[in-house]
Structure 1
Amino acid sequence: MSQDDIQMANRHSKESSMSADMLDLKELSPEDRKLAELGYVQVFRREFSMWSCFSFAVSASGVFATVSTTFSYPLYAGGAASAVWCWLISGFGCMCIALSVSEMVSAYPTSGGMYFTCKYLAPKRWVAEIGWLCGWLNILGQATGVASGGYGAAQLMLAAVSMGSDFTYTPTQGHIVGVMAALFVVDGLINSLPTRLMERLTRGYVVFHIGVLVAAIIALLVKQDHKHSASYVFTNVDVESGWTPAGFSFLFGFLSVSWTMTDYDATAHIAEEIKDPERKCPWAISTALLFTYLGGWVFTIVLVICMGDPAAILSSPVGQPVAQIFYNVLGKGGGLFFTVAAFIVINFGQIVAIQATSRTIFALSRDEMLPLSRVWLKINKYTGTPLNAVWILLFLCTCLNLIALGSFATVSAVFNVCAIALDWSYCIPILCKVLFGKFERGPWHLGKASTWINIYACIWTLFVSIIFILPTFRPVTAENMNYASVILVAIGLFATVYWFSGANKFYHGPKAQTFIEPSVEHHSYTAGQNKTV
């Protein structure tokens, strides 16, 4: 055979190989075709329905439990009026962010959530830098959300134990951290289940959640004989933070709302596990957050009406003001029931938050953004889920909460970091959408109101971010210092050093039109093997 014949044969073999690797979009479902057009191979099983998506989104906020966990913040900040009005004002800003997120998720439904949208919304020359910043903020916000949620769940559980012992037992920081670690193990095992079982488990979250919230509101209003007047509820200002003037201290009450009404894109991170995500994801996010906004405000008003002496509940031996309210109004039995119910609700939230965050780790690893990305993007062949991502997340969150053994103030800062980091990971793509005009809307959109809602969302986030990094008490000491800025700077330095130490050479932003081929034998991603759309 001549040299020309050999070259022709080799060329023919190469072309045949390329043809075999071509992916025919016509053979895919509409959801998988959309994902392919965005640049990724479908590896998850699409098991989530509209109802389970809504339940997932409601559970991510966990309004009954998260209000119970953070009710002390507005009381210290400004008393009854701070709790009521901060919910109304801050909730509106959070709704604008949630609606903006919903609109963009409809256009770009991937496990990367808002981070992935940078690929399409930012100028090409800045995609890598903006994607890097947005991705790190998002994973920081979600991880601190899981960490702080675990700490809050442990507090509620031990509050119930203390109540059951007639307050002869007082939880310590060591006990809280130990229970938190044990809960992480349980939640991790649940998140190790296949997607189909996770979806079935998720369906019941919202039914239980709404039932408990309505029951608590009715029980408190019926059983409390000594209710505060409307004048007290809506106008009383009682500053315990040491800040002056009182109006400035009042603003610290926004933290309770922002920590409750956050993680808007949790549902987006399971977009590759949802049927028809372009419609179901945004509807689930927007309707769930509207429920959280209105339900949380009503619940807060009822708590203020029925709370009795705020100083007494803030000094509660169980360490949870809302648990003490239930005990005072409903007695030991009612107090135990609703405190345990709050624990169950917040643990539901933990389960879905871990699921969403593990998918974020998977998505960032798919773009080679994280150290040891090859490890975290592997999909377990039995469950069809990224188990390595689940367990590294829980390990890191446990390590973060160990700080509580030395400083409760530092752990409290985790609540602040969660709200700041997550909201800015949303607002960076929103700003790109407004400034650069590259957005192509999906089937769910805000119409002519879109730009104004986007702008208000960004302005609101800037405003509350300044508040959340300030010390919440004065005079400032090492014990009450707000260490949120320290945590943000530490993670920022790590991400910057990692970028300039070599990550900028292989990370070029969220990938598009490139498939990382799944290994059929091991059901995991094999980096470096590409398919063509």
Structure 2
Amino acid sequence: MDAQSGTIFIDAVKEKDPSNLKPLKPIVEELGDSSLNEDDKLVELGYKPVFKREFSTWATFSFAFSISGLYATIITTFSYPLVAGGAAAIVWSWFIGGVGCMCIALSVAELVSAYPTSGGLYFTCKNLVPPNYMPVVSWVVGWLNLLGQVAGVSSTDWSCAQLLLSAVSVSKDMTYQPTNRHVVGVMAAIIMFHGFINSLSTRWLDRITRFYAAFHLLVLLICIICLLAMCKHFNTGKYVFTSVEPSSGWKPTGFSFLFGFLSVAWSMTDYDATAHIAEEIENAAVRAPQAIALALSLTYFLGWIFNIVLVFVMGTNLASLSQSSIGQPVAQIFYDVLGKNGSLAFIIFAFVILNFTGVTSMQANARTIWALSRDQALPFSRYWYRINKTTTTPVIAVWLNVLCCIGLNLIGLGSIEAIEAIFSVTSIALDWSYVIPIACRLIFGKRMNYKHGPWNLGWLSMPVNAFAVAWTSFVSVIFVMPNIRPVTPENMNYAIIVLAGVLLFSLVYWWSGARKNYIGPRVNVDMDSDDPFKMK
């Protein structure tokens, strides 16, 4: 970009409306997109490049695939469809629910291609919502996304602790029974370990992430082969695909069946996590959405196959599975089919895989905190926005995430049922942080002159977007209801309380003064200052 063009661009940035970058458009059209490198595109969106782009194509896919934690998350959420409706609920809730999840994932991938920034779908509100409503809409979307990601890291690392202690229980022939305090203590250690890893440079995170996808796929394949080879008594196909045995207490049976959607919704979520590292990916407008689409497609297909295999080998005594002394129904299936050593190995594999999910989830969440702080959407934003000069990563945001996740999981000291509500909060908060921008694109897209990125769905875009919004509206009602009846203080679904509490705090913070400084995602390419809080 020559000096004259640079002057035009700076003048545009200094206008009262920071989103008005029209003087740059003729330059972009003249040069052609192919001549712009990725940092130029980021500047076009209004942001200074801060991170090093060191994520390779394979690492980007591996990162997107790791967010689901497919093998491990099925193990930790298997109890939901098991109780909701038994064999058929396990198989068909994943198949049906996965269609809705795929529509959300593909819709998210489109928006990530159009706006590849660390703000993820939060940033898209700047270009999809009319100016009068943009600040409050982006505020709600940002806080929902932050809540969903904190809940996601918390529930992931809680499950990590459960898996590790389940392995200990198996190794001691079930003579050891972990308590809530044991789980909380192990969980805190795991979260701090993940915080240490995320304090490393992007280059090291890239190297760690590359290993994950191949390891995960290999473990899943070996597990399926071993279960099929070692099982002595298979359930019939009729039982697997048609047997409905709800034990949730909800009636009619069809309504109980719906609670099984939580397993697939929790596994196939956090779609925009890859977007939060977009400023660390080369050719992010193409690679990031491709990674999201491919990773979620594999998760959907392989997850359905794995669930079918588990139902074929699990036997028919559902009560013994749901009340397993090991603590996890799938761990009990492993023990019954593979014996002590085999089950111990595959539980440990699940623990390792879920640790990768925890690491990548925390990395995405730290970038979310950093991006929201860049726009002064959080209390004390100036501190969370700082980048460590040695690692060039937002280390302070990482450790804020660590503290928030440990604090949230302390709920588990009082009630296991209460902490399991975090699973529901993850799906609800994250999915709504996606479908609000998707809905805005459907409603205001033409008015806001929305343009597709290089990766898009073509003519399928509108129907897929519409179904994503409708599906989220439907399942959110299910996810805030108690999973078991009769309802008691012990089995109450506290997801609605956690969700309402955080939203109430964000709105009180908004009306108490934050709205005076917050204008939504803002431009920070004012070259006269290095202070990110002197933004226009």
Match of 2:533 among 519, 527, 532: 527
Residues 374 and 532, structure 2, Cα contact 8 Å, conserved in 1: no
| Structure 2 CA distance for partners of 1:515 and 1:422, relative to 1, 3 Å | farther
Residues 516 and 526, structure 1, Cα contact 8 Å, conserved in 2: no
Q: In the alignment, does 2:382 pair up with 1:374?
A: yes
Aligned pairs for 1:98-247 within 5 A: 98-247=105-254
Q: Distance in 2 between the 1:301 and 1:164 partners? A: 27
- Displacement after TM superposition at 1:381 (Å): 0.2
| Partner deviation per Cα, 1:379-416 (whole Å, 9 max, x = no partner) | 00000000000001110110110011012221111100
Q: In the alignment, does 2:489 pair up with 1:478?
A: yes
Length-normalised TM-score, structure 1: 0.93
Aligned pairs for 1:430-445 within 5 A: 430-437=438-445, 438=448, 439-445=450-456
Q: In the alignment, does 2:452 pair up with 1:450?
A: no
| Partner deviation per Cα, 1:342-392 (whole Å, 9 max, x = no partner) | 000011000000000000000000000000100001000000000000001
Question: Given residue 114 of structure 1, which amino acid in structure 2 is its aligned partner?
Answer: L
Q: Distance in 1 between the 2:382 and 2:197 partners? A: 24
Aligned to 1:508: 519
Question: Given residue 480 of structure 2, which amino acid in structure 1 is its aligned partner?
Answer: I
Aligned to 1:463: 474
Match of 1:384 among 346, 367, 392: 392
Match of 2:77 among 67, 70, 79: 70
Match of 2:318 among 310, 313, 317: 310
Q: Distance in 2 between the 1:406 and 1:433 partners? A: 42
Q: In the alignment, does 2:419 pair up with 1:419?
A: no
Q: Distance in 2 between the 1:498 and 1:514 partners? A: 27
- Displacement after TM superposition at 1:527 (Å): 1.9
SS class of match (2:209)? helix
Residues 36 and 42, structure 1, Cα contact 8 Å, conserved in 2: yes
- Displacement after TM superposition at 1:243 (Å): 0.4
| Structure 2 CA distance for partners of 1:224 and 1:120, relative to 1, 3 Å | same
| Partner deviation per Cα, 1:120-145 (whole Å, 9 max, x = no partner) | 00111100011001000000000000
Structure 2 unmatched runs, 5+: 1-6, 15-23
Question: Given residue 470 of structure 1, which amino acid in structure 2 is its aligned partner?
Answer: M
| Partner deviation per Cα, 1:53-98 (whole Å, 9 max, x = no partner) | 0000010001000000000000100000000000000000000000
Q: In the alignment, does 2:411 pair up with 1:403?
A: yes
Q: Distance in 2 between the 1:483 and 1:445 partners? A: 38
Residues 516 and 529, structure 1, Cα contact 8 Å, conserved in 2: no
Question: Given residue 49 of structure 2, which amino acid in structure 1 is its aligned partner?
Answer: Q
Question: Given residue 515 of structure 2, which amino acid in structure 1 is its aligned partner?
Answer: N
SS class of match (1:48)? coil
Q: Distance in 2 between the 1:197 and 1:514 partners? A: 28
SS class of match (1:65)? helix
Q: Distance in 2 between the 1:313 and 1:429 partners? A: 41
Q: Distance in 2 between the 1:115 and 1:354 partners? A: 17
Question: Given residue 301 of structure 1, which amino acid in structure 2 is its aligned partner?
Answer: I
Computing the radius of gyration over CA atoms, which structure comes out larger, 1 or 2?
A: 1
| Partner deviation per Cα, 1:231-281 (whole Å, 9 max, x = no partner) | 000011111110011110000000000000000011000000000000000
Aligned to 2:4: none
Q: Distance in 2 between the 1:212 and 1:271 partners? A: 28
Q: Distance in 2 between the 1:516 and 1:274 partners? A: 24
SS class of match (1:528)? coil
Residues 76 and 240, structure 1, Cα contact 8 Å, conserved in 2: yes
Q: Distance in 2 between the 1:393 and 1:377 partners? A: 13
Aligned residues: 507
SS class of match (1:243)? coil
- Displacement after TM superposition at 1:528 (Å): 1.1
Residues 524 and 532, structure 2, Cα contact 8 Å, conserved in 1: no
SS class of match (2:533)? strand
Aligned to 1:494: 505
In angstroms, what is the RMSD of aligned CA positions? Answer: 1.8
Aligned to 2:286: 279
Q: Distance in 1 between the 2:216 and 2:36 partners? A: 34
Q: In the alignment, does 2:45 pair up with 1:46?
A: no
SS class of match (1:204)? helix
Q: Distance in 2 between the 1:509 and 1:516 partners? A: 20
- Displacement after TM superposition at 1:516 (Å): 8.2
Q: Distance in 1 between the 2:508 and 2:127 partners? A: 26
Question: Given residue 166 of structure 1, which amino acid in structure 2 is its aligned partner?
Answer: D
Match of 1:82 among 85, 89, 104: 89
- Displacement after TM superposition at 1:318 (Å): 1.2
Runs of 4+ in 1 over 6 A off after TM superposition: 21-26
- Displacement after TM superposition at 1:492 (Å): 1.1
Q: Distance in 2 between the 1:498 and 1:421 partners? A: 18
Q: How much identity, in percent, do the aligned residues show?
A: 55
SS class of match (1:527)? coil
Aligned to 2:18: none
Q: Which moved more, 1:62-71 or 1:435-444?
A: 435-444
